[in-house]
Amino acid sequence: MEELYTLEKEVGRGSYGVVFEGHIAKTGQKVAIKRLPCSKPECIELYLQEIWAMRATAKNHVNVIALHSCLLQTGPRTLKPLTAGKLPGQLVESVLKGSVAKASPPHQRNHSQSCVRRRSTSVSGLQDRTNTMQTGAKLQDKVDPNWPDVSTPKRPQNRGRKRSMQRHEDPPAPLYCVALWLVMEYCDGGDLNHFLLSRLPDNQNNHAVVRQLCSAVAFLHSLGITHRDLKPDNVLVCVTSKGPVVKVADFGLSKMSPGVSEGELTRQHFSSTCGSDFYMAPEVWGGLTYTAQADIFSLGAMFWAVLERITFVEEGTTQEQLGAYVWKGRSGRLVPLGEALWENAELHLSIPIKFRRAPPLPPPPGPATCTLLLDMLAADPDARPTATQLEARVSCALEEDSH
């Protein structure tokens, strides 16, 4: 292995893995290194989907995170690079059989020098802490037009944050494939939540984010990739002298349909209920089959939150997050858009929101942008623009409203 990597510190921890800041030893280039423990077959399936999708993008779009290399860990100090264009057979076998491969006897293991070196200052404990949460099932039947005037609303108790395909299981037996390591480009601006909410409202930045995300999703859909979990947490930001460059990341829930056109992609149906509740389309909430148009709804929820700086606080935390929602009655319960629209497809969404939350607020989106947001958030997937149509319409809408 020609490239050696050094882990510096942990910079993120999600439902499936841990992300570290690191460097390529030979060049000193900063990279992000993600460790994905191969402990459950359903998790391994998500990892393989992520690798396959990231290889398909092949560093060909500036707004999609680039994968530099992928390593397979087979022992405490044994890593090897994955062959380009192929997936590790033992992991594919684990997915197909529904059980992980057990470790080889100690005398058969290869204890060669690891490709990843850890400095004494790096964090300890690389075990993944899998966070499986459940979403609430109550739906909204109407929206009170007199939304309360609050600063940053808190999310109600006992409401889940993410639906995924992950299942609770007993701890598995020791593994032959201990973990996968993905080496990716490093983004110094953090995720979209951190980047935008740590700064004063800036229409120029907001519009740049919207345009770039449209371009990224149009590119992914052109390759037959449906992301299925678009949200601010999964959008990373690189800070440059010319402004923010956003990168769509985390393809663990993505689905690939190679060789299809965008029109065919909007007709190809998926059935797994997955995603994050504040961005899930109504058809996903309802447990129906759905298409790539679910990604367009997710973008609409994100764009509305970005353009009007709509935030909430996750229960049990103090961290604001970007997310659009509706209120249920005067009790002030936050309801994700998709959930509300699944219950009432005729629900009227007020864009822009008329009340003040927490100054300073950005200028409200103009009429053309509001119309576009409503189209993206349509309850009927076929009424939403496709990714290609969206890219053109966003540019037209922002230009029209700027005049």
Span 252-280, average pLDDT? 84
399: left (phi over 0), alpha (psi -120 to 50) or beta: alpha
* Band (169; pLDDT cuts 50, 70, 90): low
CA–CA distance, 338 with 350 (Å, rounded to integer): 15
Q: Is the peptide bond before 37 cis (omega within 30 degrees of 0)?
A: no
Return residue ranges of the chain for CATH 3.30.200.20.
1-97+175-186
Q: What is the DSSP letter of 384?
A: S
Span 361-370, average pLDDT? 90
86 labelled ligand-binding: no
pLDDT tens digit sequence for 27-44: 889 999 999 888 888 888
> In Å, how far are 165, 299, 308, 381, 397 from 361, measured between CA atoms?
37, 21, 7, 31, 20
Report which of residues 132 and 381 the model is more confident about. Answer: 381
Residue with tokens 């200028």: 363
pLDDT tens digit sequence for 295-333: 999 999 999 999 999 998 877 778 889 999 998 876 678
Report which of residues 285 and 331 the model is more confident about. Answer: 285
Backbone angles phi and psi of 256, in degrees to 5: -110, 135
Is pLDDT above 90 for 267?
Answer: no
The token duo for 166 is: 């992950």
Residue with tokens 């129906």: 288
Is pLDDT above 90 for 115?
Answer: no
Report which of residues 372 and 77 the model is more confident about. Answer: 372
Kindly compute the dihedral angle of the four CA atoms of residues 393, 240, 50, 176, in this order, to the nearest 10 degrees.
180
Mean pLDDT of the chain, nearest integer = 81
Q: What is the DSSP letter of 290?
A: B
CA–CA distance, 250 with 182 (Å, rounded to integer): 11
229 assigned to active site: yes
CA–CA distance, 196 with 249 (Å, rounded to integer): 17
CA–CA distance, 188 with 209 (Å, rounded to integer): 16
The CATH number of domain 187-256+266-402 is 1.10.20.140 = no
Query: What is the SS3 assignment for 295?
Result: helix
| Amino acid found at 56 | A
The predicted pLDDT at position 77 comes to 74
* Band (385; pLDDT cuts 50, 70, 90): very high
CATH code: domain 1-97+175-186 is 3.30.200.20
Which helix or strand (DSSP H or E) is residue 335 part of? strand 333-336
Span 91-106, average pLDDT? 67
Span 211-224, average pLDDT? 95
Return residue ranges of the chain for CATH 1.10.510.10.
187-256+266-402
Residue with tokens 């779009």: 61
| Amino acid found at 115 | C
Backbone angles phi and psi of 195, in degrees to 5: -65, -50
Report which of residues 213 and 316 the model is more confident about. Answer: 213
Candidates 149, 191, 202, 229; catalytic one: 229
Q: What is the DSSP letter of 188?
A: T
Residue with tokens 């940053």: 152
> In Å, how far are 206, 296, 350, 369, 384 from 381, measured between CA atoms?
25, 9, 20, 19, 5
Q: What pTM was estimated for this model as a whole?
A: 0.80
Is pLDDT above 70 for 124?
Answer: no
Q: Is the peptide bond before 88 cis (omega within 30 degrees of 0)?
A: no
Span 45-72, average pLDDT? 89
Which helix or strand (DSSP H or E) is residue 205 part of? helix 203-222
Percent of the chain with pLDDT over 90: 47
The predicted pLDDT at position 358 comes to 62
Is pLDDT above 50 for 288?
Answer: yes
- Contact present, 176 and 75 (Cβ < 8 Å): no
Buried b (16+ CB within 10 A) or exposed e, 117-147: ebeeebeeebebebeeeebeeebbeebeeeb
